[in-house]
Amino acid sequence: MPVRLSGMNSGLDTEAIVAELVKAKSTKKENLEKDQKKLSWKQDAWKDLNSKIYGLYSKTLSDMRFSSSYAKKKTTASSSAISVVTGSGAPETVQSLKMVSMAKAAYLTGGELTVKNDEGMDVKASYKATSTMAEMGMTFAEGETKKITISVEGKDPLDIELTADTKISDVVNELSKAGVKANFDEKNQRFYVAAEGMGKDKNFEITSDDNAALRTLGLDYSNVNNPQGKKLNGSDAEIELNGETYTSNSNTFEINGLTITLNNMTSDEITLTTSQDTSGVFDTIKTFLKEYNTLINEMDKLYNAESAAKYKMLSDDEKEEMNEDDVKEWEDKIKSALLRKDSTLGNVSNALKTIMLAGVEMSDGSKMYLSDFGINTLGYFAAADNEKSAYHIDGDKDDESTSGKEDKLSAMIASEPEKVSEFFSQLAKNLYSRLDELMARTDYSSAFTVYNDKAMKTEYDDYKTKISKQEEKINTWEDFYYKKFTRMEKAMAKLQSQESALGGLFGSN
């Protein structure tokens, strides 16, 4: 950077003068930065809206296209001892269930580890996980090893070799490798071993060719003469459903579309009643309409926003002159109108509204509309601003606008479930297909995007280039003016030097 002399001889505020001379070019750069910032806000607004549109498309509409979404059934049980999840293929009938046994997991509570006190009596030991077999009193000849074996159903037996230096934590780790959950409780001085799952096929046994080693560890539970510890074997659950016996290695059974879970044992006979889940289908449709209404209301609000033409983008200097709340309010006004009268937004919104109004061609040749199911908008004068395209279900107890009307939808779900399923699955397909078209990849937009995100990114990058070029122009002109002022300062310095020299000559006479 060249040396810039700032009014050393002329007394001029060179920097202020140069700033004024390049003001027009600086203003142009500032305007470009403002436009770029406003575009970034618009990109964010579209990203947020697109995410909501895609959510409706990929989740709700995607699921509602299939008749299974409307084949909802429920099963009530006469006892809380069981719980039931009902699949769409479960028959609508009444069944009888009797519990025979619940599944249990194999579990071993080791014997309490003890040592002899000074009086020769057994007292609780105080071993740590780091205690060795030798420290626990297990004796080994030189080079000797002892072996315990853990056998888990369906797996090869695992031999655990013990030496004088083997730690309690080593035994725990080796047991865990065999496929069980093992732990040593220092407070209670016991080993605890549990199967990784319930049922007899997860059972396990711990044996050894040296019972003394098992006794030292408190695991000699099978000793008929002096058993140590307590061992519970795993067992399967068993029920009788309509007289037929079923077993499971867990407390859950999957039978003919029903998933039955045993909660607690009872000897009472339990009645299972499976029927059409009218409220479940109603809730599916209600959830869809709620999501649609939220989205279409937001789109209308954005499209019909008040003009913010009088609110210009603020410069940094302008922001410094305002308080933080005023700046936020000013910028929020601009942001609220970013998609006002946006043609892309209008196209998407109108596409959805058209399909909702158009109705569905039924398989019997008739045509049905949402109104046939007691689903309507409130009307132009009754609906709030930007909520005129929202749909309400007659008789919906959660909707204060229509709760007092007849619940036609529930009645049709109960009396004509096939017709309900056909209509709403086809309506969902129509909406899904139209959004699929609107979100198709183009030269200007990415896949699953309703707006021209690619084009907007290109525009944003163009601003970067323009701003950079404008900065170069400003620097060039600043250098140009500073060079001129520098030459002037040097000339004035030379003149002042000559005047001083002359003054000195005249003064000497």
What number is the average pLDDT over the span 371-379? 96
Q: In terms of domains, do 399 and 290 share one?
A: yes
pLDDT at residue 138, as a whole number: 93
The pair of structure tokens assigned to 44 is: 């964010």
Q: In terms of domains, do 382 and 429 share one?
A: yes
Q: Quick check: helix, strand or coil at residue 273?
A: strand
Q: In terms of domains, do 412 and 434 share one?
A: yes
Answer yes or no: is pLDDT of 425 > 80.
Answer: yes
DSSP 174-225: HHHHTTEEEEEETTTTEEEEEESSSSGGG-EEEEES-HHHHHHHT--TT-SS
Q: Please, are residues 337 and 353 in contact by the beta-carbon 8 Å criterion?
A: no
Residue 315 belongs to some domain of the structure: no
pLDDT at residue 484, as a whole number: 73
Q: Please, are residues 230 and 219 in contact by the beta-carbon 8 Å criterion?
A: no
- 441 band by pLDDT with thresholds 50, 70 and 90: very high
Answer yes or no: is pLDDT of 215 > 80.
Answer: yes
Residue at which a domain ends, from 168, 203, 232: 232
Percentage of residues in the chain having pLDDT higher than 90 = 75
Q: In terms of domains, do 111 and 55 share one?
A: no
Distance CA 405, CA 402 (A): 6
Residue at which a domain ends, from 205, 232, 259: 232
pLDDT at residue 264, as a whole number: 96
DSSP state letter for 372: G
Burial of 141 (C-beta count, 10 Å sphere; 0-12/13-18/19+)? exposed
Answer yes or no: is pLDDT of 118 > 90.
Answer: no
Instruction: Output phi, psi for 86, to 5 deg.
Output: -105, 125
Residue at which a domain ends, from 454, 478, 503: 454
What number is the average pLDDT over the span 403-424? 94
Give the CA-trace dihedral at 160, 161, 162, 165, to 10 degrees. -110
- 502 band by pLDDT with thresholds 50, 70 and 90: low
Q: Quick check: helix, strand or coil at residue 152?
A: strand
pLDDT at residue 451, as a whole number: 93
What number is the average pLDDT over the span 256-263? 96
Q: In terms of domains, do 289 and 430 share one?
A: yes
Total domain count, the chain: 3
Q: Please, are residues 333 and 368 in contact by the beta-carbon 8 Å criterion?
A: no
Q: In terms of domains, do 226 and 149 share one?
A: yes
Q: In terms of domains, do 93 and 123 share one?
A: no
Distance CA 296, CA 300 (A): 6
- 315 band by pLDDT with thresholds 50, 70 and 90: confident
Residue of 276, 473, 477, 292 whose CA lies nearest to 387: 292
Residue 352 belongs to some domain of the structure: yes
Distance CA 385, CA 315 (A): 34
- 3 band by pLDDT with thresholds 50, 70 and 90: very low
What number is the average pLDDT over the span 492-506? 66
> Could you read off the pLDDT of 57-113 as tens digits, one per residue?
999 999 999 988 888 899 999 999 999 999 888 999 999 999 999 999 999 999 999
Residue 93 belongs to some domain of the structure: yes
Residue of 313, 335, 322 whose CA lies nearest to 33: 313
Q: Please, are residues 111 and 190 in contact by the beta-carbon 8 Å criterion?
A: yes
Distance CA 173, CA 430 (A): 59
Cα angle vertex 360, ends 359, 363, to 5°? Answer: 155
Task: Name the β-bridge partners of 41.
Answer: none
Q: Please, are residues 340 and 397 in contact by the beta-carbon 8 Å criterion?
A: no
Residue 498 belongs to some domain of the structure: no
Residue 112 belongs to some domain of the structure: yes
pLDDT at residue 369, as a whole number: 98
Q: Quick check: helix, strand or coil at residue 74?
A: strand
212 contact partners, CB below 8 Å, separation of at least 6: 138
What number is the average pLDDT over the span 168-186? 96
- Biggest alpha carbon distance in the chain? 140
Q: In terms of domains, do 60 and 196 share one?
A: no
pLDDT at residue 5, as a whole number: 46
> Could you read off the pLDDT of 39-59 as tens digits, one per residue?
999 999 999 999 999 999 999
Q: In terms of domains, do 346 and 214 share one?
A: no
Residue 165 belongs to some domain of the structure: yes
What number is the average pLDDT over the span 148-170? 95
pLDDT at residue 504, as a whole number: 63
Q: In terms of domains, do 52 and 87 share one?
A: no
Tell me which residue range forms the domain holding 370.
Answer: 24-69+279-304+340-454
Q: In terms of domains, do 32 and 167 share one?
A: no
- 1 band by pLDDT with thresholds 50, 70 and 90: very low
Q: Please, are residues 404 and 423 in contact by the beta-carbon 8 Å criterion?
A: no
What number is the average pLDDT over the span 117-133? 93
What number is the average pLDDT over the span 241-245? 97
Answer yes or no: is pLDDT of 373 > 50.
Answer: yes
What number is the average pLDDT over the span 478-492? 69
- 471 band by pLDDT with thresholds 50, 70 and 90: confident
Residue 296 belongs to some domain of the structure: yes
Answer yes or no: is pLDDT of 376 > 90.
Answer: yes
Name the strand (E) or helix (H) holding 133: none
- 13 band by pLDDT with thresholds 50, 70 and 90: low
Q: Quick check: helix, strand or coil at residue 427?
A: helix
Answer yes or no: is pLDDT of 6 > 60.
Answer: no
Q: Quick check: helix, strand or coil at residue 236?
A: coil
What number is the average pLDDT over the span 356-372? 96
The pair of structure tokens assigned to 85 is: 């999840």
Task: Name the β-bridge partners of 180.
Answer: 195
Distance between start and end Cα atoms, the chain: 46
Q: Is the dihedral of CA 449, 451, 457, 458 positive or negative?
A: positive
210 vs 493, residue with greater confidence: 210
Residue of 243, 129, 147 whose CA lies nearest to 191: 129
With b for 16 or more beta-carbon neighbours within 10 A and e for fewer, the 466-484 pattern comes to: bbeebeeebeebbeebbee
Residue of 16, 30, 9, 11 whose CA lies nearest to 482: 16
Distance CA 455, CA 219 (A): 73
Task: Name the β-bridge partners of 270.
Answer: 97
Cα angle vertex 284, ends 67, 383, to 5°? Answer: 125
374 contact partners, CB below 8 Å, separation of at least 6: 393, 394, 395, 405, 406, 407, 408, 409
Residue 154 belongs to some domain of the structure: yes
Q: In terms of domains, do 288 and 353 share one?
A: yes
pLDDT at residue 120, as a whole number: 85
